[in-house]
Amino acid sequence: MTKRVAIVGIGTTGFRATTPDVSYRELTYEAATKAYVDAGIEPKDVDSFVSTAEDFFEGYSIADEYSPDQLGAVLKPIYTVPGDFIQSLASAYMMILSGIGDISVVQGLSKASNMLSLSEMTTFAMDPIYNRPLKESPHAVAGMEMARFMHESGATREQCAKVVVKNKRNALDNPLAGHGVLIDSDYVLNSEVISFPLTQMDISPHSDGAVVVVLAEEKTAKTLSDKPIWIRGIGWCSDTPGLETRNWGEAIYAQMAAEMSYKMAGIRHPRSEIDFAEINDEFSYKELQHLEAMRICRKKEAGPLTETGGTEITGEFPVNPSGGCLGVGNLYELNGGHKVLEVVRQLRGEAGKNQLKDITTGLAQGWRGVPTATGAVAILSN
């Protein structure tokens, strides 16, 4: 029988637009210290570490090398995944399954406020021969996807605006979130046009922060924690990078990653077998698109469900009760880490004012943002 692995420790700094008082070192140190105290361990007890970093975002080439100190991982097995945090989580999970050790640690960080040329860095992710010479903005890519998704799904700008209103409202009651505000749909619809149909308020503002998560094999997990959160399924997937050939309407990467995780978790009907989800809403329409891709909603259903309050904290299937990327902030490689953190807080009953009732299973999803088509999904249960 496959080993069972649980999350037994979580730590975070919380998420704010700027963090001028600390460097990335102190950010991770704070999150790591909290995660180790939460798990009742010290770094010496950890068998292997996985950090998450993307060189251009950190501003170091081979940013991997700057990971060990602030995690307590000096002279320990560690490597870095240049992807979403949930891909790192999958890696740390596999380390335990493969017998490398009983305890592994995952780290992710965002110092987005330190990136002064974010737009240029994202443009630099596009193909240099046949895309970049046209000088598209990264937001143009998101705008085109939004337009295609709306066409195929029937979702409206008003329904997308409702996602923004909901998530930013949820963030007001989440002390970890940095971008909570109370606004109405008109405010979103009338905000500055960026790449129509995408407006300024449809886009997640960026945030800084760090998350560290401790995983343990079943026997160790039960001795360490009285509230272990089990990893029941995990999946990840990448579509073709080609902007010309990818599926613009359906987020196939999210569908495939979710199906991989459902299969592992033995889930056939995600809507009824999962209680809530923290999913990538880096742009308003992504929440709707991802809901349909992951079969939480049927095709063309996510918009109407959102419009009628079905994804509110009090709704039949709460989505992003934490405030999501729109309310917490875009954390880049850490986006999936924030989702995992919030699912764990909910399943432990530690989500404060936003606490959901009678929940046993939650879904956390990450997407690597424009112009990527890479996503990862984790199914967690208490």
Partner 1 sequence: MEITEKDVAHTTSKLRFDDIKKGKVLSVKWEPKLNYAWDNGPALGRYLAELKNGRIIAKKCDKCHRTMLPPRMFCELCWRPTGRWVYVRDTGIVNTWVVSYVDWKAGRLNIEGGVRPFTPAIIEIDGTSKGMGILHLLDEVDPWKISRGMKVKAVWKPVKERIGAITDIKYFKPVK
Q: Which residues would be at the binding site for partner 1 (CB under 8 A)?
A: 19-23, 25-26, 29, 42-44, 56, 59, 68-70, 72, 74, 111, 113-117, 120-121, 124, 128-129, 132-133
From the CB of 43, what's the least distance to partner 1, in Å? 5
**C-beta closer to partner 1: residue 185 or 207:** 207
- The minimum distance between CB 331 and partner 1, in angstroms, equals 16
Complex with partner 1: residue 3 or 132, whichever CB lies closer = 132
Select 47 or 287, whichever has its Cβ closest to partner 1.
Answer: 47
Please state the closest distance from residue 116 (CB atom) to partner 1, in A: 4
- Looking at the DSSP bridge assignments, the partners of residue 362 are 276, 380
Taking the complex as a whole, the smallest distance from the CB of residue 26 to partner 1 amounts, in Å, to 5
Nearer to partner 1, 71 or 347 (CB): 71
Buried b (16+ CB within 10 A) or exposed e, 218-245: eebbeebbeebbbbbbbbbbbbeeebee
Count Cα neighbours of 104 within 13 Å in the Cβ-side half-sphere: 26
- Residue pair 211/334 in contact (Cβ under 8 Å)? The answer is yes
Smallest gap, in angstroms, from Cβ of residue 200 to partner 1? 22
Cα–Cα distance between 253 and 299 in angstroms, integer?
A: 16
Contacts with 243 (C-beta within 8 Å, 6 or more apart), sequence order: 126, 127, 131, 141, 371
Residue 74: CB minimum distance to partner 1, A = 5
DSSP letter (8 states) at residue 297: S
Question: Residue 123 or residue 381: which is nearer to partner 1 going by CB?
Answer: 123
Backbone angles phi, psi at 337, to 5 degrees: -65, -40
Largest pairwise CA distance in the chain:
57
Decide whether 138 or 180 has the Cβ nearer to partner 1.
138
Query: Smaller CB distance to partner 1: residue 115 or 291?
Result: 115
| Distance separating alpha carbons of residues 167 and 202, to the nearest angstrom | 11
Min separation Cβ 69 and partner 1, Å: 4
DSSP bridge pairs for 211: 12, 108
DSSP state of 280: -
Residue whose tokens read 């890479």: 374
